[in-house]
Amino acid sequence: MSPPGEGSAAVSTLCQHCGLCCDGNLFDHVPLRDAEVDTMRRLSLTVVTRKDGSAALAQHCDALKGRVCTAYAERPEGCRRYHCALFSALAEGEVSLNEALSVVGEAHARIQAVEAVLPTPRADAPRAVLQRARQEDLPTQARDTWTRAEDWLDRHFRGRQRHR
């Protein structure tokens, strides 16, 4: 998540309305440097091991309360460096704040539409709607709803950056 207080007020406002790069819908983990693992554990955040043996911060991130990072001062480098495509477009004046907030609103609306067609979550299911959708064997109509949401995130947020 882009940090409140860094850059212009507009991008801070945008991120505080969004949270998608921390809530598990855009990504399922944030890479960690070895030196960051103890800090994440001290903050009671979930650290997972990736296939290559490296550590990562699981998403949905438990530091996210509402749409705000509560571990802001100690967030890992992967969070500090990350800016989605929409953030960059706003920072560079390619879109207005209102246009960017509208894109965020549509993203949340499409994710909510996916949630409405998913089965009731199991206790061990991911909290992020799109992560759950990726694990379900969805009927065609629900799959179309899920695809609409993923396409929107690809187009406006992930850009060419599908991983953090």
Which residues here bind ligand SF4, judged by CB under 6 A?
Answer: 1-2, 14-15, 18-22, 26, 30, 57, 61, 63-64, 69, 71, 75, 79, 83-84, 86-87, 157
Shortest reach from residue 120's CB to ligand SF4, in Å? 26
d(CA 11, CA 97): 8
Phi-psi region of 101 (alpha: psi -120 to 50; beta: other; left: phi over 0): alpha
Q: Give whichever of 107 and 142 is closer to ligand SF4, judged by the CB atom.
A: 107
d(CA 2, CA 26): 14
Q: Give whichever of 76 and 132 is closer to ligand SF4, judged by the CB atom.
A: 76
Q: Give whichever of 37 and 117 is closer to ligand SF4, judged by the CB atom.
A: 37
Q: Give whichever of 86 and 142 is closer to ligand SF4, judged by the CB atom.
A: 86
Please identify which residue in the block is written with the tokens 């550590």.
55
d(CA 154, CA 160): 8
Shortest reach from residue 29's CB to ligand SF4, in Å? 9
Backbone φ and ψ for 75, nearest 5 degrees, come out as: -65, 150
Shortest reach from residue 139's CB to ligand SF4, in Å? 29
